[in-house]
Amino acid sequence: MSSESGTWKQSKFEARENPLFFWQYFDTTFFLVTTITLMMSFWVFRTLKQWYRDRARTLYLASKLPGPPTLPLIGNAHLFACNPEETLDKIKQIVQSVDTPGRFWLGPKLFIILAEPRDYEVILGCHKASYKDKMYEFIEPFVGKGLVSGSGPVHRAHRKAIMPMLNSKALNEYLKHFDTHSRICSELLEEKAGTGVFDIQPFMVHCTFDMIFDTILGMPGSSQKEGHKELVYWTEKMYELVHTRMIKVWLHADWIFSWTDLGKKQKEGQHVIHSFIETAVARKKKEHYAIERDAIAPDRPRLMLLEQLIDHNAKTNLMNDTELRDETYTIFTAAQDTTGVISSFALLNLAINQEIQDKVREEIRNVVGNDSVTVEHLPELKYTELVIKETLRLYPIAPLMVREATGDIDLETCTLPKGCSIVMIPYETHRSTKYWTDPEKFIPERFLPENSVGRHPYAYIPFSGGLRGCVGQKFAIMCLKTMLVHVIRKVRLTSTQNLETLRLKADISVRSRDGYMVSVERI
């Protein structure tokens, strides 16, 4: 201690006695500070210069595209100052007022609108457009970075692991669950015979919930018997909350959103959903480890999807607990929403079009009769599949798809600049007279092979396509066929609604603003 003290005193004495010591110290410090400052200034200058170049190039490329007039600072954000239910109509107005590719601005953010199949084919197969747009971050509080909202290497690894779990063998095992719950649904609808007009969607939603409980979670579904009310409510409410936040620019900031009523509702729904899924995962994990530990039924098939995920994860450690929860709920809600909404639209269209309904019923009687639906029946339900395809054309699962360009992308008519958001609108393409005759009418026969010759394959993309095509396509079609079989052979549906005047909205999926109003009578 005394030695250190003496050294310090000596240095202090030398600095006082020798002025050069001070100046040498000052020169070294000054040199270091100056060097660091210059390096930081150079880095900031280079960054700003690059940003300016990129921005100038973006503005230049955007100027070549048609689009609505912009306002300072906000761009075209004022066009979306509407009720969330009217967003789909606003987007249709923009698309129909300009040629595509077109553009609009939300503040400083450039959005490129695409509606041509040739452009979809490029984008959906391009790695530079494989990342979901930042808008999808708003769904992450519910589903995390799962198959719907995630991007990048983790997303690709999860997708690669999950796809084999939805193979034909697993789907065939699921069919008996689809059949059981579809039968219950048809019996409940039979009880509505003679009671007047009602909305059929709640029946289809609860039926699909039970199917998904059995096949995805491996838990007995009881939604049709008044179970899981809170989960059903928040799963439907989630889409409304997310969509509202997407289109209201001032809600994009987390610190603002958290203080709003919507933000508080989101926290409540998030808690309900996460608690339920975490409980389901923990229960299945416990069962899995019990089997592994006690060697109970070592050859037992783990065909329910959550069981397969847990089994795969135990071997590969691919996902942490949060990722496992998020992927489980992503698959759960994607499967449930698809089948619940599309089956409601299909039955509404059949109720409006009696001749088509009669054709479906005749096919069901000839192929299935009064039996349970089997794997052998499904490919023979050819006209029923045409009805499902036509329903998906008019009401695609993803009416809008938004991707982020991580690099410049060359299309046939223009170049999309790095950093822009790419908005693809299957809803508009599916109703374009360029590709469809009488596009607003419900005509299942348009999908017959002889009527599909020459149609661009990307003129019809209800399940997206390319690198991020829907992994649950076959699952959804199998569900829908089974539901239609049981309902159509039990009851005749009628409706006074009109397809031409049916008002639609889009909150992730296309939905009816007027409900799915039908009446039924026993057959």
Q: pLDDT for 393-437, tens place per residue?
A: 999 988 999 999 999 999 999 999 999 999 999 999 999 999 999
**d(Cα 45, Cα 55) in Å, to the nearest integer?**
15
**d(Cα 292, Cα 302) in Å, to the nearest integer?**
12
pLDDT at 117 over 50: yes
Average the pLDDT over each of 16-20, 464-468, 496-500 and give the range with the smallest value: 16-20
Tally the C-alpha atoms within 13 A of residue 230's C-alpha that lie toward its C-beta: 10
C-alpha torsion sign, points 355, 356, 357, 360: positive
pLDDT value at position 19? 58
Q: What would the pLDDT profile of 120-165 be if each residue is shown by its tens digit?
A: 999 999 999 998 888 888 888 888 777 878 788 888 888 888 888 8
Average the pLDDT over each of 72-86, 201-215, 269-283 and give the range with the smallest value: 72-86
pLDDT value at position 313? 87
pLDDT at 296 over 50: no
Q: What would the pLDDT profile of 369-390 be if each residue is shown by its tens digit?
A: 999 999 999 999 999 999 999 9
Positions at the binding site for heme: 470
pLDDT value at position 300? 46
Residue 255 burial (C-beta neighbours within 10 Å; 0-12, 13-18, 19+)? exposed
pLDDT at 176 over 80: yes
Nearby residues of 124 by Cβ (< 8 Å), 6 or more positions away: 424, 458, 461, 464, 465, 466, 467, 468, 469
Ordered domains of the chain (ranges, CATH): 77-522 (1.10.630.10)
Q: What is the mean pLDDT of the chain?
A: 87
pLDDT value at position 189? 97
- pLDDT: is 323 or 121 the higher one? 121
The count of other CB atoms within 10 Å of the CB of residue 97 is 11
Positions at the binding site: 470
- pLDDT: is 397 or 10 the higher one? 397
pLDDT value at position 293? 45
- pLDDT: is 23 or 374 the higher one? 374
pLDDT value at position 419? 92
pLDDT at 18 over 90: no
Structure tokens at 19: 């002025």
pLDDT value at position 474? 92
Residue 372: what are its φ and ψ, rounded to 5°? -70, 150
Structure tokens at 359: 């054709």
pLDDT value at position 181? 95
- pLDDT: is 168 or 425 the higher one? 425
Query: Phi-psi bin for 516: left (phi > 0), alpha (psi -120 to 50), beta?
Result: beta
Nearby residues of 460 by Cβ (< 8 Å), 6 or more positions away: 389, 393, 430, 435
Q: What is the mean pLDDT of residues 519-523?
A: 94
3-state secondary structure (DSSP) of residue 414: coil
pLDDT at 228 over 90: no
pLDDT value at position 299? 47
Residue 521: what are its φ and ψ, rounded to 5°? -140, 145
131, 152 in Cβ contact below 8 A? yes
